[in-house]
Amino acid sequence: MKKISKVYLGLVLMFLYVPIFVLIVFSFNTTKSRTVMSGFTFEWYAKLFRNEIIMSSLANTILIAVIASVTATILGTAAAIGINNMKKLPKAIVLNITNFPIINPEIVTGVSLMLLFVFFAARMNLEFGFVTLLIAHITFSVPYVILNVMPKFRQMDPFLYEAAQDLGCNSRQAFFKVVLPEIMPGVVSGFLMSFTFSLDDFIISYFTCGSDSQTLPVTIYSMTRRKVSPEINALSTLIFLVVVIALVLKNFVERRSESRSLKTKEESL
């Protein structure tokens, strides 16, 4: 049974990662062929960094992801605090409402936001572009922050805030010194999830972007409609390497923090 499970796991990993490795290999191909490896070159990487359209879309994507994730984290954390202080029935109703955008298909959200922006464009001279993209990314990111922060409130002792006030803290000090450190793992997780979804989003961005402000996924889609360029292979390879490095660093930091906490516990004992 163990051998069968190992074979199954190997097949699953092969199915997931073989296409990525093929993409990486052909990003170094000397020709544009997607079937024959003619030689090894870094030409497509050099052309990638000289491509103004891709570089502009990449900068726009990162800028939108940073602003949207930071804004969504602040709004989502504030919303989670308000929801946590509600009574049982209103809390359940509001939580279900905030979960709708997560369950809702992205194409429905994208079309809905597009129609909303068209409605305001006719009355407020709102043009599709950076602003509409940013609003759309904040809109679909806030529920994920709430989803990550709320469990931390359930895990936290509900009397910590009152205890901090009894010990001399005002409302602001009690929140920043007691409550915020307790929910910080959820806040960080919500920020990272918002940032990741914002970088990766295509459907909602496709319906809410303008001709002068596009994200990288939309630009790549526009390029692949004509022909898949090896520059896209190079770009995908770099994105894959960045993600792998980020995951390795994250695991390294987590292991170091766990080992430090274990040492402090052992020393206290």
| Tens of pLDDT, residues 26-57 | 888 887 777 777 788 888 888 888 888 888 88
Closest C-alpha to 148, from 112, 106, 197: 197
Q: Give pTM, 2 decimals.
A: 0.80
How many other C-beta atoms are found inside a 10 Å radius of the C-beta of residue 136? 26
> In this model, does residue 133 exceed pLDDT 80?
yes
Q: Which residues lie below 8 Å from residue 240, measured CB to CB, with a gap of 6+?
A: 20, 24
What pLDDT is recorded for position 261?
A: 67
In angstroms, how far is the first alpha carbon of the chain from the final one? 42
Spatial contact of 79 and 146, defined as CB atoms under 8 Å apart: yes
Average pLDDT of the chain is 84
What pLDDT is recorded for position 104?
A: 86
DSSP 8-state symbol, 127: P
65-87: average pLDDT: 91
Say what percent of the chain tops pLDDT 70. 95
DSSP 8-state symbol, 126: P
What pLDDT is recorded for position 137?
A: 93
Distance CA 118, CA 91 (A): 33
Distance CA 147, CA 143 (A): 6
What pLDDT is recorded for position 153?
A: 84
CATH of 53-229, one of 3.40.50.300, 1.10.1060.10, 1.10.3720.10, 3.40.50.20: 1.10.3720.10
What pLDDT is recorded for position 19?
A: 85
Say what percent of the chain tops pLDDT 90. 12
Provide the residue ranges of all domains of the chain, joining segments of one domain with +: 53-229
Distance CA 36, CA 33 (A): 6
Each residue's pLDDT tens digit, 91-104:
888 888 888 888 88
**Helices and strands per DSSP (H, E), number in the chain:** 12, 0
- Complete DSSP assignment for 20-87: HHHHHHHTTBSSS-SS----B-SHHHHHHHH-HHHHHHHHHHHHHHHHHHHHHHHHHHHHHHHHHTS-
Distance CA 217, CA 1 (A): 42
Spatial contact of 128 and 121, defined as CB atoms under 8 Å apart: yes
